[in-house]
Structures are given as C-alpha cells and as structure tokens.
Amino acid sequence: METTYEKQGYLYDDFRMFHVKDHEKREYNFHYHDFYKIIFFLKGKVTYNVEGKNYNLKPYDMVLISQGEIHKPEVSFEEPYERVIFYVSKELFQRYKTEDYDMEYCFQRALEEKKHVVRFSALENTAFLDIIARIKEKAWGNDYASKLYGDALFLEFLIELNRCCMDGRGSFEQLTTCNTKMIEIMEYINAHLKERLDVEHLADEFYISKYHMMRAFKKETGYSVHQYITEKRILLAKKLIDSGMSAGNACLECGFRDYSAFSRAFKSRMAQPPTGNEKNERV
C-alpha cells in the first residue's frame, strides 16, 4: 500500500514569515507546497534535498523552492537547526509584475540554472538580516498600518534578492550530490506529463531495470514513481484551471485519460473538486 504525501503549510496572505529554531532531533518528511518558499539558513548542519538534488548548506545560504517542488532537509542535530522561512503566494508576484521587473525572477533563474541555493557576500547577508529584523519588529506590532509596513519591507527583501541574482552578487551553488539518472528521469517526467508515463515506459526510455529505478527513485525523492507523476499532474492541472482552463481540458492536458479518476485524485490532494479558484485553499 502506497503512502500518501500531503502538501504542507498554510498561506492565507501574500506572504508569511517564520523564524524557526529546532533543538531536538526529529525527522522531516518529503513534501511540497502550492506556494513559493524561501529559506534563509542561519545555523546548523543541514543537507537540503530539492527534487533529488542535495546541497550542504552554509550559514546565510538562501534556498529557493518553487511551487510543487518536492523537498526536505536532512539535519544532524549537533547544533540547533535555525532558519527564517518565507511562504510567498503566486498572486504577489503577479500583482507586482511589469514590463520592467518581475519579482519571480530569482525563482525562474533557479529553475533555469537547475540549482536551488544562492550564496551571497557578507555585505549582502547583513542587508538581508537587517530587513528581516525590521519585518519582525514592524509587521507584527500594533502600530499604525503595521501590516502595510510589513508588506513594503518584504517587497524590499524581494527586490534586494532579485537584484543580487541579476548582477552577480548572488551565486547559484553547485549541488553536493545527486543520482544523475534519477534527476534525468524527473526532468523527463515534468517535460512529458501529457504523455504515457508508466514505469515500464520510463525503464525502457532510460535503459534501466524498472525495479532498480523504482527503488532508487523512492530513495531520492521519498515518492514512488507513480506518486510523483500523479502529484505533478495534479499540480499542473490546478495551475491550468486557475489560469482559466476548463477542468475537462486540464484533465487531458495533464495526461489523465479518465475524468472520474482525475477528479478523485484532484479532490484527494487539493481538498476540493477540480473547479473554481479558491484563494485561501488548504495547502
């Protein structure tokens, strides 16, 4: 019997910020979000896995995780695991996008580079820490227009992050380890969601034993091949439906051949049927 992997986290606003420090040993499961995630790593001994790629983090690394990307940290609790986490909605990026700038640029660059960690100089790190401190001080108080002030400060954070990614002050770091074959299979799946994608087809396409592939894929991602394909198809379907496509057409565009099976899978993972566009959904 397969395990069902749930989306994690809730996002009811344009963004949320958390300052988290874990002292006691715990296990982190593979998961994904319907929103974007920024992790500003502060302290600890952590290897971060994003879509099968592992990164050994250093203090003040920025981890950029797009919608639907499967990830988890591997933590050695020799010291506390401390980080600042931002959840960011797609709507925020859309609201501030113009012909001259796009706040989503840093995430697009990460996808193009096929890397998820950005490293900065001490000067840039100090600037990020200053903005974060001001968000904590101003955004959660009872002062006049504190929420608006917090929103403005977070936009300052995003502007600085994107500028660093554009002008070379932020360097996208090489991943530490990965299973190259599994990365190729994941990239193939994401590029061919509309097509046939069963285990036998993938094994033939990549000249690999299907049993070896199934074991290695599960080890690298925490998902079975079938789970991974289904999750990615559902996430793509939601994106298409939110953009205005009918549920029936989205079903076909995402590789489902049976609408009732698509509807059941969508409702199971999104906690709503494949119609409508609820902003404050369960994630």
Q: Are residues 188 and 155 in the same domain?
A: no
Is pLDDT at 252 greater than 80 in this prediction? yes
**CATH number of the domain within which 83 lies:** 2.60.120.280
Per-residue model confidence as pLDDT tens digits over 97-143: 999 999 999 999 999 988 999 999 999 999 999 999 999 887 666 77
> Does residue 81 lie in a domain region?
yes
Q: What is the CA radius of gyration of the chain?
A: 20
pLDDT at residue 140 in the model = 67
**CATH number of the domain within which 258 lies:** 1.10.10.60
Q: How far is CA 212 from CA 109, 153, 182, 217, in A?
A: 33, 49, 11, 8
Q: Are residues 55 and 153 in the same domain?
A: yes
In angstroms, the CA 249 to CA 232 distance is: 16
> Pairing relation of β-strands 36-43 and 117-120?
unpaired
Q: Are residues 183 and 159 in the same domain?
A: no
Number of structural domains found in the chain: 2
Per-residue model confidence as pLDDT tens digits over 155-209: 999 999 999 999 989 998 876 777 888 889 999 999 999 988 989 999 999 999 9
In angstroms, the CA 23 to CA 79 distance is: 7
Give the 3-state secondary structure of residue 36. strand
Q: Are residues 244 and 265 in the same domain?
A: yes
Is pLDDT at 4 greater than 60 in this prediction? no
8 Å CB contact between 149 and 93: no
Q: Which helix (H) or strand (E) holds 124?
A: helix 122-138
Structural domain for 238, as ranges:
179-270
Say which amino acid occupies 9. G
> Does residue 4 lie in a domain region?
no
pLDDT at residue 144 in the model = 83
Q: Are residues 157 and 221 in the same domain?
A: no
Is pLDDT at 283 greater than 70 in this prediction? no
Q: Are residues 31 and 82 in the same domain?
A: yes
Where is the domain boundary, 172, 193, 208? 172
**Range from 7-21, 36-50, 109-123, 166-180 carrying the lowest mean pLDDT:** 7-21
Q: Are residues 167 and 184 in the same domain?
A: no
Is pLDDT at 54 greater than 70 in this prediction? yes
